[in-house]
Every structure is written in C-alpha cells, then in structure tokens.
C-alpha cells in the first residue's frame, strides 16, 4: 500500500547584506554547485525544492533577497507569507553581523510577524585566515539580539564553497518547521556542529538582569567587535612585515 504524504509549502527568505553568500548558499542547496563569480541579485530571486521528511512532503520556496540598500523599498513585499528566515553574514566582515539586527527588524515588519523560525548563519568559514568574526563573538551577538527581541534563533556556520552544513541546515529547518506545525517527527534533528539554539546558550553571556538588552548594550558589543577587528588587522600587518624580513 502506497503511503499518503502530508504536503506542506514553506516560504523561506534568505536575507543579509550584499555579497555575504546568500545566492551561493541557495545554489549549493539546489545542487547547482558553487560559482566563484558573484552575480548581483535583482530585487529577489526565487527557487523551489521538494524534500520528504518521514510522511511529509515539503516544498521549499526559497526567496533570495537583494542586500543592496537601493532595493530596500521593494524588499518588504517579499517577506509576506514567509514562515522562516535565514539571516546570513560574512565572517570576514563584522559589519555584516551587526547589520543582522536591521534585517531581523525588516523581516518582522515585512512578514507581519508571521515568521516562525529564524537562523543566523555565519558564512564563508572556509576562509580561516581571513576570518574576523569568531564563533564566540557571533554567539555573544546572537544571545543579545535574542534577549532584545525575544525571538529564538538558531546559529549555524556554513561554507557555500565546501558545502559545510548547507544540506544539514535545511534538513534541520524542515524538521523545525514541521514541529512548529504540531507534526511529531520520530527522527531526531541532525547533529550539526555549529547549529545552536540561542535559548540554550550559557547564562553568563546574557544580560545580568531579566530585562531585554538595551540598545546601549548592542552598541557596546558592536564597538567591541570593531576594536577586535582592528587589532586583528594590526597583528596581520605586523606578521606580514616580519615574514618579509625573514
């Protein structure tokens, strides 16, 4: 007897600053491989993929939103009907991380708060020597934006170049969306290094009181990240000079 599958349509948005790797993540997941040539997304690009999780057939509608400021006026319409958002930043650029806060606010407003599941994705982790945002710095930021918004985030580190955690992230997302729709999944979510529930982060990196983090605390964190980035640049310049003298 052929089993009957429950069918689901889930709209997912990929958001984040320009050139952080949103399109490469989508292309990698779609099975089209990785291209080193960056193509500017015009407003939004759309792709769909069907997956099966136990007795559930899921049709992912993946909307890749342009990160350039010039498209801000039209981006809001693409959040409507979205049930999940993947907020992507580039580990080479701390500004793309701090800007995630603006993307979250835009998603909440544009979707009319319909988004059930949020991911914060640290992309390009294969570029180890050029990394400027450490895992600890990113988790610190995630815990504070969680406290400020009250939203549960899942943090994950990916590489569109190597494929690290791309498939696993969408597998995890599929299960979480089914669970959000009261579907009991017997198979446990895949154990992926880097996927962390911000609600389970250690208490010592959260604000010391029960109130949400203030804007001042977020600003202080951004300043700390910028100072660390400058120190890393200085150290790299010094090491370069030393190597040249050897």
Q: What is the pLDDT of residues 180-229, one digit of tens each?
A: 999 988 877 666 666 899 888 754 444 444 444 455 566 666 677 777 66
What's the pLDDT score for residue 202?
53
Per DSSP bridges, beta strands 196-197 and 153-157 are antiparallel
- Indicate if the alpha-carbon torsion angle 167, 170, 176, 178 is positive or negative: negative
What's the pLDDT score for residue 137?
95
pTM of the model: 0.79
What are the backbone angles phi and psi of residue 119, rounded to the nearest 5°?
-115, 145
Q: How far, in whole angstroms, is CA 125 from its chain's centroid?
A: 13
119-173 pLDDT, tens digit each: 999 999 999 999 999 999 999 999 999 999 999 999 999 999 999 999 999 999 9
Instruction: Go through the domains of the chain in sequence order and give each one's CATH number.
Output: 6-245 (3.40.50.300)
């Amino acid at each position: 007897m052929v089993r009957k599958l429950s069918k689901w349509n889930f709209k997912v948005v990929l958001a984040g600053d320009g050139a952080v790797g949103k399109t490469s993540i989508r292309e990698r997941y779609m099975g089209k491989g990785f291209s080193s040539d960056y193509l500017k997304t015009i407003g939004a690009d759309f792709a769909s993929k069907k997956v099966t999780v136990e007795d559930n057939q899921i049709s992912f509608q993946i909307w890749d939103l342009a990160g350039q400021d010039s498209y801000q006026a039209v981006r809001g319409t693409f959040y409507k009907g979205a049930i999940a958002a993947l907020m992507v930043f580039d580990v080479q650029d701390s500004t793309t991380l701090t800007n995630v806060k603006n993307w979250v606010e835009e998603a909440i407003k544009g979707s009319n708060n319909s988004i059930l599941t949020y991911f914060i994705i640290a992309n390009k982790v294969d570029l180890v020597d050029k990394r400027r945002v450490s895992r600890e710095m990113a988790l610190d930021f995630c815990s504070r934006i969680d406290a400020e918004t009250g939203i549960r985030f899942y943090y994950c580190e990916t590489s569109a170049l190597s494929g690290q955690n791309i498939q696993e992230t969408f597998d995890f997302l599929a299960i979480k969306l089914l669970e959000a729709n009261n579907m009991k999944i017997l198979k446990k979510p895949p154990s992926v290094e880097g996927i962390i529930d911000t609600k389970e982060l250690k208490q010592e990196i959260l604000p010391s009181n029960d109130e949400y983090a203030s804007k001042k605390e977020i600003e202080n964190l951004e300043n700390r990240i910028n100072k660390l980035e400058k120190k890393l640049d200085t150290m790299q310049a010094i090491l370069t000079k030393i190597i040249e003298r050897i």
